[in-house]
């Protein structure tokens, strides 16, 4: 069976721009981590129940891949899709840590959408897949588009490619499972200070290299201070940036912290 890579991402910066209903609106630079990825493929099976094979710590119905299947089925009403999933399991060779701010679950979901669209010839455009992805999770559209670097805004649905040279990263992921809603809730209740549109536009224009070499990590990610407060066992790492709501830290590969 054909294999597909689901790449991780880091947030070069992540700033809150406001609120929309119960969500926070953001501006962020997502960059693909080409050295870290899950690998997905289909395997034949005999049990018609939806099955995901691999090392997961959640129930199938809570998995983003299952959610992707349900939303894709609702969008296409495809008998070909439902029949295919009765006869095939999704195998995931899981390398991206979970609850780590690296987008593993979202990337798996986006990759699954592409697998189904390609192999079953569903005929959906990338934009149509991204619309399906919006219903699965905020980070999914970025992974659907497959950009190496992009400015992401709104609640994740606005993805604009940013043309720049890809960077290589060192990543450290403490063994702490961080709840994204818990971090956002702490931010909303104790640290809420959205940036204005001019500040957002300035960051969106800056290259990722410039941001990583000129901006303090705690100022680059509004969720970093909230995560430190929400999870006292999470220790600040001098000179390392914080991805998403955590718990992963990253820095430029080969970077020597003075």
* Collapsed DSSP state (helix, strand, coil) of residue 30: strand
9, 15, 38, 108: the active-site residue: 9
Tokens of 7: 């790449």
57, 139, 218, 222: the active-site residue: 139
Tokens of 52: 């995901």
Active site annotation includes 9 = yes
Distance CA 155, CA 105 (A): 17
How open is the CA angle 141-143-149, to the nearest 5 degrees?
Answer: 105
* Collapsed DSSP state (helix, strand, coil) of residue 160: strand
Checking DSSP bridges between strand 169-172 and strand 249-252, what pairing results, if any?
A: antiparallel
**Beta-carbon count within 10 A of 134 CB:** 16
Residue 101 near residue 245 (C-beta atoms within 8 A): yes
Residues in Cβ contact with 213 at an 8 Å cutoff, skipping those fewer than 6 apart:
252
Active site annotation includes 139 = yes
Distance CA 185, CA 68 (A): 26
**Residues designated as active site:** 9, 139
């Amino acid at each position: 069976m054909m294999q597909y890579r689901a790449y991780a991402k880091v947030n070069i910066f992540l700033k809150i721009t406001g609120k929309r209903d119960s969500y926070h609106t953001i501006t962020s630079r997502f960059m693909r981590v080409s050295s870290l990825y899950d690998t997905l493929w289909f395997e034949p099976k005999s049990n018609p129940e939806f099955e995901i094979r691999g090392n997961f710590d959640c129930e199938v119905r809570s998995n983003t891949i299952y959610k992707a299947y349900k939303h894709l089925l609702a969008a296409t009403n495809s008998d070909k899709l439902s029949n295919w999933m009765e006869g095939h399991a999704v195998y995931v060779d899981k390398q991206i840590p979970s609850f780590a701010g690296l987008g593993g679950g979202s990337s798996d979901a986006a990759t699954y959408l592409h697998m189904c669209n390609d192999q079953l010839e569903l005929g959906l455009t990338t934009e149509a897949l991204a619309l399906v992805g919006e219903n699965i999770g905020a980070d999914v559209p970025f992974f659907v588009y497959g950009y190496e670097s992009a400015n992401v805004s709104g609640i994740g649905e606005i993805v604009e490619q940013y043309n720049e040279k890809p960077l290589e990263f060192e990543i450290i992921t403490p063994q702490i499972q961080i709840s994204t809603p818990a971090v956002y809730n702490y931010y909303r209740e104790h640290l809420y200070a959205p940036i204005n549109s001019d500040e957002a536009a300035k960051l969106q224009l800056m290259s990722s290299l410039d941001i990583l070499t000129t901006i303090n990590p705690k100022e680059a990610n509004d969720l970093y201070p909230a995560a430190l407060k929400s999870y006292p066992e999470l220790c600040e790492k001098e000179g390392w940036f914080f991805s998403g709501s955590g718990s992963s830290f990253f820095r430029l590969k080969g970077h020597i912290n003075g």
